Amino acid sequence: MTRISYHLLVLVACLFWVACASSNEGQDRTDTEVPMEELEQMAADRYGTEAAITYIPNEAVTHILVLHQTPKTPQQPLEQSSYFVYTLADETVVMEEQAIQGTVTWKDNQYLQIQLTPGNVPAEGGAPSGYLVDVYTGTRMAE
């Protein structure tokens, strides 16, 4: 190989490496910022300014579960949850549900898992009741 072709090959390899490095720049970080002030205001409007609110993003940080759980009291011994799901792409509430007796968590990036607390405790070995909710369609499904 001649000296000029060797230098040309090294130059092409360097340019290729620089092009690949710059095209991958920023892919390891999330460019979506969570508008916390807006979410806090929406939660305060729905649940009051003194309510304890939990903000839970899904793993991909495309949606935020905004969860309000009422504390257990002697008059209300079952935990009640109210929530809404905010999508960061459209900056809108895509679904909302009020006064569920139970808990709400993310199953994965697309589904919420709702675990209902029965009024009567089931017999030993009884399956817990609950369902999944697709945040894109609002469809409920059995677990």
Q: Could you tell me if residue 71 is inside a domain?
A: yes
Residue 66 has pLDDT above 70, yes or no: yes
Alpha-carbon torsion angle 115, 121, 122, 128, nearest 10? 10
Q: Could you tell me if residue 40 is inside a domain?
A: yes
Structure confidence at residue 3 (pLDDT): 53
Residue 73 has pLDDT above 60, yes or no: yes
Number of domains observed in the structure of the chain: 1
Q: Could you tell me if residue 16 is inside a domain?
A: no
Q: Give 80: exposed, middle or buried? Use CB within 10 Å, 0-12, 13-18, 19+.
A: middle
95-139 residue pLDDT tens: 999 878 888 999 999 999 998 877 666 566 555 688 999 999 989
Contact 93, 85 (CB under 8 A): yes
Q: Could you tell me if residue 22 is inside a domain?
A: no
Q: Could you tell me if residue 69 is inside a domain?
A: yes
Q: Could you tell me if residue 99 is inside a domain?
A: yes
Q: Could you tell me if residue 27 is inside a domain?
A: no
Residue 82: domain span: 36-142
Structure confidence at residue 76 (pLDDT): 80
What is the rounded CA–CA span in Å between residue 62 and residue 34? Answer: 9
Longest dimension (CA), the chain: 89
DSSP letter assigned to residue 39? H
Q: Give 82: exposed, middle or buried? Use CB within 10 Å, 0-12, 13-18, 19+.
A: buried
Q: Could you tell me if residue 113 is inside a domain?
A: yes
17-61 residue pLDDT tens: 445 544 444 433 345 678 899 999 999 999 998 889 999 999 999
Residue 16 has pLDDT above 70, yes or no: no
